[in-house]
Chains A and B, each alone.
Chain A
Amino acid sequence: MTAPPYRLELRGITKRYPGIVANDDVSLAVKPGEIHAVLGENGAGKSTLMKIIYGAAEADAGTILWNGEPVTIANPAAARRLGIGMVYQHFSLFESVTVVENIAVATPGKFDLGALSARVRELSQRYGLPVDPGRLLHHLSVGERQRVEIIRCLLQDPKLLILDEPTSVLTPQAVRSLFAVLRKLVAEGCSILYISHKLDEIRELCDSATILRAGRVSGTANPRTASNSDLARLMVGNELPDIHRDPVPHAPKARLEAIGLSAKSDDPFGTDLETVSLTVHGGEIFGIAGVSGNGQAELLSLLSGERPAGADMVQLDGKPVGDLTVAARRARGLAFVPEERLGRGAVPAMSLADNTLLTAHAAGMIRRGLIDRQRVVGFADAVIARFGVKATGPAAIARSLSGGNLQKLIVGREISLKPHVLIVSQPTWGVDVAAAAFIRQSLIDLSRQGAAVLVISEELEELFQICDRIAVIYQGRLSPARARAATNVEEVGLLMAGVGPSFRPAA
């Protein structure tokens, strides 16, 4: 008997959720010892498909073949018994216990921390995944946490490893070492399903690719030979729009300044901010790169006014505002897009119209204390139309929108306020490629009209695409800003990992 040609084969997988078909007749096949990419925009159905393979969701139709045999995978435990491991995009680890304890809770068999620690050390040596089993999880960086997740899967001796957007939180250097680990695994015969929307990574790492668009397979390709625009067309359905960027106007004036901002974090696992200074001029986009959790949240809340600072520490158009409330800063022309959309940037249970009222109320929506509904709906309609928000209308409930569409609404709302200063955190996180390009163009246009735009993002590609100057935040400190042309991804990547010269204490 010959070995089956495929380790995993999906035939006609269909999964419906109310209102949407997440997977529609999806088929794909993964050979033993192959890295197979599942490529697609956010919302294309990649994560749903992986959940079905891992037994975390149930398909409405279709069959799964494992080594040529049809199987039913009822739950993740059944998937693990077959030899399927999964590393989720959002880790499922406990902050307050050690690495080995985190691994033990997910590992069947006897609870023997000593023996387990030895096995963890052995695996970590063999695959070059340096992790100390005795360390408390909350001391670990994101990259180290991901190693813990991977080791946890490797302990089960998997035949198929699923990685869901594994590099979205990693520095370029950490991505390198992850790829080395994955290649070693494949050489030993393990198959890998690699989910991503980053074309360069897939070209570098993967042997074959299945591309999803709107829940259906739009094509398969060899990523090593297919061109970027071929893959993008399969993903998006048309060519990517070009980003158009005018030069920064001359003699810009400082519109947003932070001067020696320091603050202890409210969050016990947060990062304290240490004397952060920056200046953003009218007409430019200033980018802050960094792996999340390095003080971005603290910096943002101090700039927005959600946390008060010393009066002089934050300045808008040359006037101290550090001790002013959010409302007072907004009244002076500050607008802000937070990272969390549901619950902070928008109220989940309220309509889109009410969600524009949230921050746009000063635009003539209130008369004698009463809300002018017509104006609110008019404003919401305009934002929905201009930013292409896919929704049934201003009465749609915010919670019912996809993350990307809600982001378009929030960004659109803040840009429509014509702010002097706009602060944006993760502007295109979870937004599809075409909409991301549109949001980026909108930010550039706003800045060229004279506004100061500060963008905090984990995506270097994005920062290099839109920013005029870039600085890096690492462990609560900000590096000096460099002009985009004077730096490159490698240098910024090193700074993100904390190995650049700028973070060494002054001698």
Chain B
Amino acid sequence: MRIVLEPRPAPLPLMRIGAPIIALALTAIASSILFAALGLNPVKTLRIFFIDPLSTANGISEWLLKASPLILIGLGITIGIRANVWNIGAEGMFTIGAIAAGWLAITFGGGNHAWLLPAMIVAGALGGIAWAAIPAFLKVKANANEILVTLMLNYVASLLLSYLVNGPMQDPEGMNYPQTAPFDPSAMFPPLFDGMRINGSIFITAIAVVLAWLFLERSFTGFQMSVGGAAPAAARYAGFVQSRSVWIGLLVSGATAGLAGMMEAAGPLGQLTPVLSPGYGFAAIIVAFVGRLTPIGVVFGGLLLSLLYLGGEAVQMTLSLPASVTRTFQGMLLFFLLAADVLILYRIRIRSRA
């Protein structure tokens, strides 16, 4: 007897909904075993992980605040992967976007200008685009592998930020801490509700979701880009310009990552510090794949990953569990989610060998 995976004649639509449910069930079973082995009550632990963080208004505010950059960057990465461009450098683009916006904030912050925040939004996007243009140029002109180039540029961006907050952009009154002066309120997104950190920047993400959907599912440019990514010879045959796919794929993901960096700096952080991102640029790659490379899916993926962050912190604090346990749990969930997706295109058959 052997178990084989057989391709389905056509994708099974029911499984698009069924696969995540199967994955959640498997995660619940596997994690219950893990928690029970650690001497914890599985039901209570899962409740602290998934329910408690969302039981207060502030909890929901934090949830959306973390989900927003993950979704925004995930959209850009999704568009990149549709163009067959693997952008591992969103972290660096995020940083450059934050630096560009932060420079405006520090330079013009005292004047209470109404144009400052919009200008920072534009600067954040342009910063990310500029950083993404480097791998795009190298790929188009020299066929340089974008995975390596974008990855290495993360370190360059991170060191540049480190230099700036230790030197030219350091707060003169900051007692020599490596950070910039706090941004003026005119350079920050106003909070939506008193006492909560959620701010107007989530509307940028919301608009981006709609635009990404329009671009990928409805626009001809998006279609041409997807053809270039899926079948380069077909794109050449049809007369689509291949290099345009690379440019769009990288520049769009640069713009979204740069915007996310700006939103983080002009939102919860309110200044530039040597480390701006808790790994959003990398986590967004997971978001893109959990979202099956569709804009709507990315929204769910971002919300899920954000909840995993919050829940992980909650169990660490409430049950004083080691971080490695929460990471194992997070890994399990993502593993089952991606593995269950196989069932959309394949079915499991048990065969008796003659």
Contacts and interface: CB of A to CB of B under 8 A. Distances in A.
A349 B8 CA distance: 14
A326 B239 contact: yes
A396 B9 CA distance: 10
A359 B220 contact: no
Contacts of A400: 9-10
A155 to B, nearest CB: 32
Contacts of B327: none
Interface residues of A, number: 36
Contact of A343 (B214, B234, B239): B234
A363 interface: no
Contacts of B233: 340, 343-344
Nearest to A326: B239
A397 B234 contact: no
Of listed A19, A340, A369, A396, residue having the most chain B CB within 10 A: A369
Interface in A423-444: none
Contact of B238 (A349, A359, A370, A392): A359
A263 B6 CA distance: 45
Interface centre among B11, B220, B226 (most CB of A within 10 A): B220
Contact of A348 (B10, B231, B236): B231
A18 B230 contact: no
Contact of A371 (B9, B10, B223, B230): B223
Contact of B223 (A336, A343, A354, A397): A354
A326 B238 contact: yes
Interface in B1-48: 6-11
A358 B220 contact: no
A34 B304 CA distance: 67
Given A344-B234, A358-B234, A18 B8 contact: yes
Given A347-B230, A349-B230, A326 B223 contact: no
A366 B236 contact: no
Contact of A358 (B10, B214, B218, B238): B238
A371 B220 contact: yes
B115 interface: no
B237 A344 contact: yes
A232 interface: no
Contacts of A330: 239
B221 A369 contact: yes
Given A18-B7, A347-B234, A305 B223 contact: no
A19 B11 CA distance: 12
A499 interface: no
Interface in B230-287: 230-231, 233-234, 236-240
8 contacts: A19-B9, A326-B239, A338-B237, A343-B231, A344-B231, A354-B223, A370-B218, A371-B220
Interface of B: 6-11, 214, 218-221, 223, 226-227, 230-231, 233-234, 236-240
Given A338-B237, A348-B230, A350-B226, 11 more contacts: A304-B237, A344-B233, A344-B237, A345-B234, A350-B230, A358-B234, A366-B220, A369-B219, A370-B219, A370-B220, A397-B11
